[in-house]
Amino acid sequence: MNYLNSLQRILSVDPSRMQVLYAVRDLQLRDCWVGAGFVRDAVWDHMHGDWHHSLSGDVDVVWYDPECCTPDDERHLEKELKQQLPAFNWSVKNQARMHLRNGDNPYHSTENALLYWPETATAVGVRLGDNDLIEVIAPYGLDDLFELRLRPTPAFEREKYDVFRRRVEEKRWLARYPQLQLIN
C-alpha cells in the first residue's frame, strides 16, 4: 500500500489542515514542518472511519534554524500564526535548541530531531511545497501510523519509557482509537 499517497490525500481533503499548511508555508522558515498530532490524528481518525473529525489540540510547527534560536522568536511566530488563524492552538519550536530541553545531543535538522520524538507514529512532519504538493518526512516510515501501531521510538524504549507510557494514558489514545495496537 502506498501510505505516502494516502497521507497526502487525507490531508488535502481537510480544509482546516490545508489552511494550516498554507499559513505555515507563508512563514518561509528553514526546514519547517507541521507534525505530531496534526498528522497522527488525521490518519487515525480516518482509519477509524471519522473522516470529518475537527482539528483539535496543538498545531505543532517545527523548524531548524541555528540563527533564530530564542523562545522569543518562537513566541513571535506563534503570535503571528494566531493572528492569522486564531481558532488553532499553535506551538512553534525551533529544533536547533530543543535538544537542550530534551537532554539529547544536538539535532542536525528537523528530520533528525523527529528521531527523538516519543512515538514512531507521531514522528512525522508535513509541509506544503512550492508546487502545493504535500511533502512528508518520516524517519521511522509511515507503516506504524497507518497500521495503527503505537510504539515508542528507540529514544523512548528504555530510559524514557515511562514518558511514553504516561503519554499513552494522558492522551487516551487506546480509548479514542480502539483499533490501535500498543507495541511494547
Contacts of 167 (CB under 8 A, 6+ apart): 118, 119
Helix (H) or strand (E) segment spanning residue 176: helix 173-176
Neighbours of 107 (CB within 10 A): 21
The pLDDT value recorded for residue 54 is 67
**Beta strands of 37-151 (E only): which ranges?**
58-63, 89-94, 125-128, 134-137, 149-150
Task: Please check the confidence at residue 174 and state whether its pLDDT lies above 80.
Answer: yes
For residue 85, pLDDT beyond 80 = yes
∠ CA 95-101-102 to the nearest 5 degrees? Answer: 85
Question: How much of the chain exceeds pLDDT 90, in percent?
Answer: 84
SS3 per-residue string spanning 26-45? HHCCCCCEEECHHHHHHHHH
pTM, two decimals, is: 0.94
In the predicted structure, residue 106 carries a pLDDT above the cut 80 = yes
Check residue 57 and give its pLDDT. 74
Average pLDDT along the chain? 93
Instruction: Report yes or no: 143 and 3 within 8 Å, Cβ to Cβ.
Output: yes
Of residues 79 and 56, more confidently modeled: 79
pLDDT at 139: 98
Give residue for cell 498545531: 59
- pLDDT tier, 53 (very low <50, low <70, confident <90, very high otherwise): low
Out of 26-35, 48-57, 75-84, pick the least confident.
Answer: 48-57
| Out of 50-59, 63-72, 166-175, least confident range | 50-59
Q: What's the confidence (pLDDT) of residue 51?
A: 63
- DSSP-derived letter for residue 155 is G
Distance CA 171, CA 58 (A): 12
Torsion from C-alpha of 156, 56, 61, 80, nearest 10 degrees:
-150
Query: What is the four-CA torsion angle of 92, 95, 101, 105, rounded to 10 degrees?
Result: 170
Q: What pLDDT digit, counting tens, does each position of 107-138 carry?
A: 999 999 999 999 999 999 999 998 999 999 99
The amino acid occupying position 1 is M
pLDDT at residue 1 in the model = 61
Measured in degrees and rounded to the nearest 5, phi and psi for residue 81 equal: -70, -40
The Cα–Cα gap between 34 and 116 comes to 16
